[in-house]
Amino acid sequence: MRKKKTTSTFMKRVFQVPRRSWRRRIWNAFVFLSLTVVTAGVAGVAAVYIEFSPGIAEVPDVAGYHPPILTEVFSTEGVLVGEFYEERRKVIPYERIPKRLVQAFVASEDSAFFDHLGIDLVGTARAAYKTVLAKMLGSGSMQGGSTLTQQTAKAIMINAEGYKAATAKTLRRKIREAILAFRLEVALSKEEILYLYLNNVYLGHHSYGIQSAAENYFRKGVAELSLAQMALIAGLPQAPSKYSPFRNPENAKRRRGYVLRRMYEEGMIGEAERREAEEAPVEVHNVEDVFHEFAPYYTEEVRRYVVERWGNPALLKAGLKVFTAMDAEKQRIAQEAVLSELLSVDKRQGYRGPLKRAEGGQAQRELDEQVKKVLAGAPLKEGALYIGRVVAMAGNGQWAKVKIGEEEGLLPLSGMRWARKLNPDQYYPNALISKISAALRLDDVVVIRVVEPKRLFDGEPPAEVARAAEGTKAWLKLEQEPELQTALVSIDPHRRYVVAMVGGYDFDANEFNRAFQACRQPGSSFKPFVYAAALEQLKWTQATILVDSPIVYDDPENETRWKPANYGQNFVGDVTLRTAITLSMNIPAVKTFIAVGVKPMEEWNARFGFSTPLNADFSAALGSSCVKPIELANAYTIFGRGGLKTPSWMVRKIEDRFGRTLEDHTAYDDVWAPLTDRMAAGYAALFEEGERVLSKETAFLTTDLLRSVVREGTGAPAQALKKPAAGKTGTTNDSFDAWFAGFTQGLVTVVWVGYDKNEHPLGRYETGGRAALPLWLSYMKGALEGYPQPEFDPPPGLNLIRLRIDKNNGLLASSGTAPRDVAEMYFVKGTEPKQQTSARGEVDSHRFFMENP
C-alpha cells in the first residue's frame, strides 16, 4: 500500500521547482542581455562604420604610394643649387632606415605598436569622452589618443582631404581616422605602416619624414645618425616647436632623455648606451639655404621656367630632378666679379654718406652692443665687411679710428680717397679727397672692410699713420652698399648652355632679374647688327668707305631736329666700315642704317631674337631701342655659331621622381652628362641644325670686325684676357647704360652696368669700356683659366679671301702704303677691291657716301 505524501514533502517540492526555474531565468536573462548588448554594440559599430566610412581615403598601395616630395635643382656638375617644396620630404626605403631609429619612435610614441590592431581603444574612448564633454562645456578643445597607425592614417587623410579637413577638432574626424587606421592594419604589414609613417611625420622646421629631419638638424643621412641624434628626432612628433633643438635646446634635451629612457625600459638599449647618449650635447646645424647662398638669380629663373613648362604643383610636389646648364665654378666666378667690380664702379660715382650717426652715449652703447652680438666673439676677418663707428680723426686728416663692437681698427686716408661728394660731371681721378674730414665726421656709422696694409699703400704706410695703428686690431677700407646694378649673362655657344648668369648685386635686397627682365638701351653694342645687315643685304665689305661728317635730320611731324655726333665730338671724313666699327663711330653707323632702311632693319632685328620692336627712326642705329641682356647675349652667339640661331638653355634636363626624362637639352659633348644622354643628344643634333640668320661668310666677317674692336679699338682692354677675343662696347648718349658684349670661340658673355631708375647718369667718362668691360674681363679670366681659346680663323669651306687694304680709301694697299695705314681684311670672293691705291692713296670714285647723303 502506497504511503500518502505528507504536506511538508509536497510543499518542499513545490518550492524546489520554482527555485531551480528562477536561477535558470536569471542566467537566461543575463545571456540574453549580453547578446543584446553585443548585438547592439556590433550594430552600433556597424552603423558608425557605415555612417563615417564614405569618402575616407583609400589604403595606399605601398609600392605605388607617392607623397609630395621636394624638387631638387643641380648644376651641370651635380652641385645642389636649389630646392622647392610645400613639404620638405625625401622618401627613404624601409630597408635603409636604421633599426635603432625605428625603435626610438616605437618606444616613445607607441610601445604596443607591434601588438595592437591599430587603434588604442581606451585612449580613443577617453579622447572621445573628453571631446564631447569639452563641447558641452564650450571649451572647444580636442583630446588626442593616437597610435602610430592612427598618426599614419592622419597623414594619409591630410594628403587626400587637405590639412584643414584632416585635422579638424571634431569627433567625426577622429572616428574616420580610426576607421582608416583599422583598414591599414588589415591591409598592410607593420613594416609597411612604419614606412609610411616615418616618411610622412612632421618633425619641425619644414621637415617631413626622418631623412629630411636628419638633413635639417644634423646635415646627415639617417644612416649616419648617432643614437643621441635618433632619440632627439624621435622626440619631436608630439610638439615639434616646443621640442625644437634650435629654439628650445633644453626642452629638446629633456625630451631626448625621455625617449632614451623608454628605449631602455623596453630593453632596446643598455644602460651604458643610454647614459652616453644622454650626456651628448645637443648640437644641431641649420640646413643650408642653397637657393640664396649659391646662385639665387639663376635658380629663380630656372624655377620660373619649370613652373611655366610643367606647372607649380609639379615643382612643389612631384619630386622633379632639374639638372641646369649652370657651370658651378663659372657661376661662382661671375658672382665674385660682380661683387668686386661693381663696388669699384660705384665708388667712382662718389660717397653717399654714412649709414647713420650714433650721437649720444645711449645710441653709441646700443650700436656697440648690436655689433658685438653679431660678432659673437669671433675675431675680425680679413676681407669681411663690418659696421663701425668713427671714434677719432687725427694726423692732419690722414687717419680715423673706427670702433667695431669692442674692437678698433685704423682707417687711413688711402682707404677712402674715393669718397668725394656725388657729382656725375666730375672726372673721378681729379676729384679724390685729400682729408678724411671731407667725407667723415665723428660718430658716423659706416661700412668698412678689413684689409692687409699692402692693399692700402704702394710702399710702407707713413710714419704718423703707422704709429696711430699701434694697438689696433685691423687696417680698414671705407665701403658703401652700391646703388649701381648689373647683369651678366654667359653662354657656351656650341653647347647652347647658359653657364652663368647674375641678375643684380643682391637678390635678397631686390629680386628683379636685370638679365631677363630689364630692357635697356644697348648703345653701340647694337652696331654689329647694323653692319651685318649691310654686309648681308647690301653686299658691302669691310673696306666699304663711309664719310664721317656732320648730319642733321628734321622730323616735321614732331617738330624735332636730331643731330648725331661721335663720342669725341670730332669728324674724320672718309673711313672704312672696319674703322668705323673698330672706333665705334656714330655717323657712319647712322648712314649704314639709312642705307639698309628702317623697315628691313625692323625685320632684321626680329630675326636675331630681340623681343622689343626697333624704334622706327635713325637713332635705332645707335642702340636707342631697348634690349634685354639675355637677348643680346643670344644674338651675339649667332656670330660665333656661324650665322645659326638656336635657343640657349638654362635647363639641361628634367627627370620625374622615377628617373623618367621629361625634357632633355643635353649637348653631345657635355662631359658631365651621362653617356646615354650624350648619345641621344648626338643623334638629335643631326636633325636640329637651327635657323640660319646670316650666311656663314657674313657671320665670320662680322666676327672679324669685332675682333678688330678688341685688337685696336674701344674694346682694347679685353686684350688683357690674353686669349683671342672679339666684342663691342656700348654706351648710351646720356651715360645711363654701359655695356660690353664679348666672346671667345668657347664663351659669349654680355655685361650691363647702370642704375635701375636712372636717377642720374653714370659719372663722366664711365663708358662701356670703363664701367662694364673690367667686369667682363674679371669674369672671363677666371672662367677660361686653363682653357685655351683658338684664334678666329675662317672655318673651312668659306668663299673668302684675305687682302692687305689701305685704310684710308679701302683699296688694295700698294708697296708704298705706310704700314700704319694697312689692315688685313676678309672679303667674299668677287667683292674684293680690284684697284690698288695710288702713291697718294686718293681714289675719289670709291667713296660710298658723300657729304650730303
User: Of all helices (H) and strands (E), which one includes residue 826?
Assistant: strand 822-828
**Roughly what angle, to the nearest 10 degrees, separates helices 190-198 and 171-187?**
130
Give the span between the Cα atoms of 72 and 659, in whole angstroms: 13
CB 614 within 8 A of CB 503: no
Q: Pseudo-torsion of CA 342, 343, 349, 352, nearest 10°?
A: 130
Distances (CA, A) of 813 to 73, 707, 736, 808, 816: 58, 21, 41, 10, 8
| Beta-ladder partners of 562 | 553
CB 544 within 8 A of CB 825: no
Q: Which of 75, 490, 524, 625 is catalytic?
A: 524
If 0-12 CB within 10 Å is exposed, 13-18 middle and 19+ buried, where does residue 6 land?
exposed
Give the span between the Cα atoms of 535 and 577, in whole angstroms: 10
CB 368 within 8 A of CB 403: yes
Cell readout for 309 is 613648362
| Beta-ladder partners of 392 | 401
What is the chain's alpha carbon radius of gyration, rounded to the nearest angstrom? 40
Distance, C-alpha 571 to centroid of its chain: 47
Backbone angles phi, psi at 177, to 5 degrees: -65, -40
Distances (CA, A) of 708 to 336, 465, 592, 634, 715: 29, 48, 19, 21, 9
Q: Which of 109, 300, 341, 408 is catalytic?
A: 109
Residue 109 known to be catalytic: yes
Give the span between the Cα atoms of 91 and 693, in whole angstroms: 48
Q: Considering Cα of 744, then 747, then 748, then 750, what sign does the dihedral take?
A: negative
| Beta-ladder partners of 202 | 208
If 0-12 CB within 10 Å is exposed, 13-18 middle and 19+ buried, where does residue 195 land?
buried
| Beta-ladder partners of 825 | 803
Give the span between the Cα atoms of 409 and 476, in whole angstroms: 6
Give the span between the Cα atoms of 574 and 844, in whole angstroms: 10
Q: Which residues of 26-49 are buried (b: 16+ CB within 10 A; e: fewer)?
A: eeeeeeeeeeeeeeeeeeeeeeee
CB 513 within 8 A of CB 297: yes
If 0-12 CB within 10 Å is exposed, 13-18 middle and 19+ buried, where does residue 222 land?
buried
**Which residue reads 676681407 in cell numbers?**
383
Closest CA to 547 of 573, 581, 529: 573
Cβ neighbours of residue 185 closer than 8 Å, sequence gap 6 or more: 117, 118, 149, 193
**Roughly what angle, to the nearest 10 degrees, separates helices 99-109 and 227-234?**
40
**Which residue reads 683671342 in cell numbers?**
724
Identify the three-state secondary structure at position 851: coil
Give the span between the Cα atoms of 546 and 849, in whole angstroms: 5
Closest CA to 646 of 678, 615, 684, 608: 608
Closest CA to 85 of 229, 230, 173, 212: 212
CB 649 within 8 A of CB 665: yes
Give the span between the Cα atoms of 451 and 13, in whole angstroms: 119
Give the span between the Cα atoms of 58 and 630, in whole angstroms: 49
Give the span between the Cα atoms of 133 and 140, in whole angstroms: 9
Positions annotated as catalytic residues are: 109, 524
